Amino acid sequence: MARARPDSPPLFEIIERPDFSVETRAISQGIWPVAGMDEAGRGPLAGPVVAAAVVLDPQNIPDGLDDSKRLSFEQREALFQNIMASALGISMASVSAEGIDATNILRASLEAMRRALCGLALRPKLALADGRDVPPGLPCEGRALIKGDQRSQSIAAASIVAKVMRDRMMADCGRRHVHYGFELHMGYATARHRAAIEIHGPVARLHRTSFAPFRLGAVEIAEG
């Protein structure tokens, strides 16, 4: 007789943390180096999509690695410094708003990850990509891991590097284009950002004009 499911909710939520098990299995099969890849900035209305590729040192993995979205600003900054100091290989790349508009955000994200991987000083034998898709044109075997930044420490490290670098780029955009508040919302469609677009228009080469609300009607591009 089948046991009935309990109808009471769990007392607490179990949050899974990434580990090094996927990488360890690859190492046991003679597959090394292993790189993690992830991107930041798929959803915003402005700015590039930024990707990172990271090869962690199995003997010196920073404590606290996790999906960058589950970390505070202070945690990301501290882990970014630890990753930069301890990883065997780190590379970053981006695709601009113009590049995103010329293709689409999925292709641009995969291309950014491919460029980041190809920029590593050491050549990995396996690349782990966050999501459902493996970037085309990789110089090594690639595997896609759904929710990879919550499963693989290498991908989590890449997600942190990509997020921190993109946030810094958008903060710089905020200093250059003071009406938009990019340093606060990082290009996402907040009420403040939408209001600034209504008043000042989109910024050439920075706003993604293939995204709503731009593609819903004709807009005047503000040079700056």
57-109: per-residue pLDDT in tens? 999 999 999 999 999 999 999 999 999 999 999 999 999 999 999 999 999 99
Give the domain CATH number at 78: 3.30.420.10
pTM of this structure: 0.90
More confident residue, 212 or 200: 200
Residues 121 and 185 in one domain: no
224 pLDDT higher than 50: no
Residues 183 and 210 in one domain: yes
12 domain residue, yes or no: no
DSSP string covering the chain, please?
-PPPPP-SPPSS------BSHHHHHHHHTT---EEEEEEE-SS-SBS-EEEEEEE--TT-PPTT---GGGS-HHHHHHHHHHHHHH-SEEEEEEE-HHHHHHS-HHHHHHHHHHHHHHT-SS--SEEEEESS-PPTT-SSEEEEETTGGGTBHHHHHHHHHHHHHHHHHHHHHHHHSTTT-HHHHTT---HHHHHHHHHH-PBTTTB-TTSTTGGGS--PPBP-
Q: What pLDDT is attached to residue 212?
A: 81
163 pLDDT higher than 50: yes
182 domain residue, yes or no: yes
200 pLDDT higher than 80: yes
